[in-house]
Amino acid sequence: MIKNNTDILIYSCPSFKQSRVNNKISNNFKKIYKNNWIINFSKNKKVFVVTYGCQANYRDSEKVVGIFLYAGFKLTDSEKDADIVFVNTCAVREKAEKKVFSYLERLKNKIIIFSGCMAMEEKIVKKIIDKKMSINIVISINNIGKIFFLLKQHIITKKNIVDVNSNFFNVNDERLPNNFNFSNFKAFVNVNYGCDKLCTYCIVPYTRGPEIDRNFKDIIDECRKLADLNYQEIVLIGQNVSSYGIKHDTTFAKLLDEVAKLKIPRIYFLTCHPYDFSLDIIRIMKKHKNILPYLHLPIQSGDDNILKLMGRKYNSQYYLKLVDNIRKIFPDIVLSTDIIIGFPTETDKEFKNTLKIVQQIKFDNIFMFIFSKRHGTPAYNMVDNVSDAVKKNRFQILDSWYMKIIEEKNKKYLNNIYDVLVDGISKKNKNTLEGRLITNKIVHFFGKKSMIGKIIKVKITETHPFFLFGEVFSK
Ligand code: SF4
């Protein structure tokens, strides 16, 4: 233990250097979770888990809930009722960071556990320690097996604790009680963890470490259990699922083929990197009706110089050719992408190359982001000479180009009938339900709550850029 602070027990702090070299797996979680102390302490205690960020974080939160339930805690969906608030954070953008800190400031009289990607950042943990922030336990998600040991230390010593070990273990342990799912009809299934691509702007390879593939059979077994439980949709997730199996004797296409045979009504996957994307994946998508015809393939920029600075390992011609080949095999595929606007040194001409490729490819959905500097990444030290005003202006230009494309593309939905998986009550209007088409397009409609979790027919009556409106169709 490092004893450099009298108010805080510091067991370990994050290290970006360590996080890139270690990927150990522990096998001692049972010793940690189930001891008499935790069994007594957990009685009548409620936990509220709040999650920021991507689907990988949501899946991690499900595992955290599974661990707390296993130890005897109860789950609550209201932070007011909670004794413990577990905050699972995201580090991808600075905006997310600000949101998390403002949330933490509002929490009163709770045991606060801070984890997720922000807890893996050297700068963030230093800030928490230096400012003596009122966070009771800071723990890396990969080290979640130690949570009850740290909780006990906190209760006994009444001191806050920091234990963020950048050694990677436990989260990958198949023996974790990780079969809890927030939804009883839709589940995320991890394919791999971490990333080896090291794009220069991205913090993920440091907060989540090197790529580790799950065992093929373990993934299939998990999917089979979900199929037996009548799950309607599974999403195979990883920072880069397309590289699954490359280090071993298998491929993501083979995995997808086996998962599809389990007859779960809907399957899709996130996210792929164009560099190691194999057309076999598209062939398997075409082969199975239960794999959604939806592919998210981040391009990030349409300019070769910027792509090189981003460390993306492909150029615009490569990406165009890949899309061309994908569409030759699967002409109706729905393609979405990510684009970063205002990467350091991006000129007007370079930005126009992005506009050009967007116009050429006509993506069905674009997730646009203004470049956000992340401490510890190579891009952090690049000269960020694109002003905020220019970045915002480029964002608006790209947005208006995209709006024109999407308005045109959405016309095909009007007056047609689609299978819709009903996700729940609409976030926009409590009187309507929200679901998704097989193209992953969101649709709102009036319907009964009993439809939630089911696949029903909906006729599209209105189109809007980001969603559709429809009515339940019955013959
Ligand atoms: S592929 Fe690039 S952007 Fe995606 S997680 Fe890996 S490093 Fe980050």
CATH number assigned to the domain comprising residue 268:
3.80.30.20
Question: Which DSSP symbol is given to 291?
Answer: B
Look at residue 12 and give its three-state secondary structure: strand
The answer, yes or no, to whether any atom of ligand 1 lies below 6 A from the CB of 270, is no
- Whether 456 and 346 share a structural domain: no
- Whether 370 and 253 share a structural domain: yes
The answer, yes or no, to whether any atom of ligand 1 lies below 6 A from the CB of 273, is yes
Q: Is residue 3 part of a domain?
A: no
The answer to whether residues 108 and 135 touch, using CB atoms and an 8 Å cutoff, is: no
Q: Is residue 129 part of a domain?
A: yes
- Rounded to the nearest angstrom, the distance between the alpha carbon of 403 and the centre of ligand 1 is 27
- Whether 153 and 254 share a structural domain: no
pLDDT of 4: 54
The answer, yes or no, to whether any atom of ligand 1 lies below 6 A from the CB of 243, is no
- Rounded to the nearest angstrom, the distance between the alpha carbon of 199 and the centre of ligand 1 is 6
**Residues facing 189 on adjacent strands:** 236
The answer, yes or no, to whether any atom of ligand 1 lies below 6 A from the CB of 310, is no
- Whether 313 and 265 share a structural domain: yes
Question: How buried is residue 4: exposed, middle or buried, by Cβ count under 10 Å (0-12/13-18/19+)?
Answer: exposed
In this structure, what are the phi and psi dihedrals at residue 178, rounded to the nearest 5 degrees?
Answer: -110, 25
**Comparison of pLDDT for 345 and 32, the residue scoring more:** 345
Atom number in ligand 1 closest to CA 205: 7
The answer, yes or no, to whether any atom of ligand 1 lies below 6 A from the CB of 195, is yes
What gap in Å lies between CA 256 and CA 286, rounded to an integer? Answer: 11
The answer, yes or no, to whether any atom of ligand 1 lies below 6 A from the CB of 240, is yes
- Whether 419 and 407 share a structural domain: no
- Rounded to the nearest angstrom, the distance between the alpha carbon of 202 and the centre of ligand 1 is 6
- Whether 406 and 433 share a structural domain: no
Give the CATH number, domain containing residue 106.
3.40.50
Q: Is the dihedral of CA 37, 41, 46, 49 positive or negative?
A: negative
Number of compact structural domains in the chain? 3
- Scan for tokens 């998986």, then name that residue: 421
Look at residue 474 and give its three-state secondary structure: coil
Domain extent at residue 121: 8-163
199 φψ region: left (φ > 0), alpha (ψ -120 to 50), beta (else): beta
90, 197, 271, 340: residue to mutate for ligand 1 pocket, most atoms within 8 A of CB: 197
In 3D space, the residue among 255, 369, 349, 357 whose CA is nearest the CA of residue 305 turns out to be 349
**Comparison of pLDDT for 333 and 17, the residue scoring more:** 333
- Whether 216 and 303 share a structural domain: yes
Q: Is residue 176 part of a domain?
A: no
What gap in Å lies between CA 163 and CA 143, rounded to an integer? Answer: 9
- Rounded to the nearest angstrom, the distance between the alpha carbon of 30 and the centre of ligand 1 is 33
Overall average pLDDT of the 375-384 stretch: 93
Look at residue 251 and give its three-state secondary structure: coil
Q: Is residue 173 part of a domain?
A: no
The answer, yes or no, to whether any atom of ligand 1 lies below 6 A from the CB of 292, is no
- Whether 151 and 31 share a structural domain: yes
**Is it the case that residue 174 has pLDDT exceeding 90?**
no
The answer, yes or no, to whether any atom of ligand 1 lies below 6 A from the CB of 63, is no
Which of residues 368, 392, 411 is at a domain's end?
411
Nearest CA to ligand 1 atom 8: 202
- Whether 241 and 146 share a structural domain: no
- Whether 267 and 302 share a structural domain: yes
Which residues, 6+ apart, have CB-to-CB distance to 109 below 8 Å? none
Nearest CA to ligand 1 atom 4: 239
- Whether 443 and 375 share a structural domain: no
The answer to whether residues 127 and 153 touch, using CB atoms and an 8 Å cutoff, is: no
Q: Is residue 171 part of a domain?
A: no
The answer to whether residues 401 and 355 touch, using CB atoms and an 8 Å cutoff, is: yes
Give the CATH number, domain containing residue 437.
2.40.50.140
- Whether 316 and 338 share a structural domain: yes
The answer, yes or no, to whether any atom of ligand 1 lies below 6 A from the CB of 119, is no
What gap in Å lies between CA 174 and CA 68, rounded to an integer? Answer: 16
**Is it the case that residue 3 has pLDDT exceeding 70?**
no
- Rounded to the nearest angstrom, the distance between the alpha carbon of 329 and the centre of ligand 1 is 26
- Tens of pLDDT, residue by residue over 338-361, are 999 999 999 999 999 999 999 999
Q: Is residue 2 part of a domain?
A: no
- Rounded to the nearest angstrom, the distance between the alpha carbon of 260 and the centre of ligand 1 is 26
Reduce the secondary structure of 186-250 to three states and give it as a string.
EEEEECEECCCCCCCCCCHHHHCCCCEECCHHHHHHHHHHHHHCCCCEEEEECCCHHHCCCCCCC
Q: Is residue 118 part of a domain?
A: yes
Q: Is residue 48 part of a domain?
A: yes
Which of residues 384, 411, 438 is at a domain's end?
411
What gap in Å lies between CA 296 and CA 271, rounded to an integer? Answer: 6
Look at residue 282 and give its three-state secondary structure: helix
Integer CA distances (angstroms), 406 to 17, 168, 369, in order: 43, 42, 18
Amino acid occupying residue 279 = L
CB-CB neighbours of 46 under 10 Å? 18
**Comparison of pLDDT for 176 and 275, the residue scoring more:** 275
Which of residues 386, 411, 436 is at a domain's end?
411
Q: Which two tokens stand for residue 47?
A: 């936990």
Q: Is the dihedral of CA 19, 25, 30, 31 positive or negative?
A: negative
- Rounded to the nearest angstrom, the distance between the alpha carbon of 51 and the centre of ligand 1 is 20
**Is it the case that residue 168 has pLDDT exceeding 90?**
no
- Tens of pLDDT, residue by residue over 76-122, are 999 999 999 999 999 888 788 888 999 998 998 999 999 999 999 99
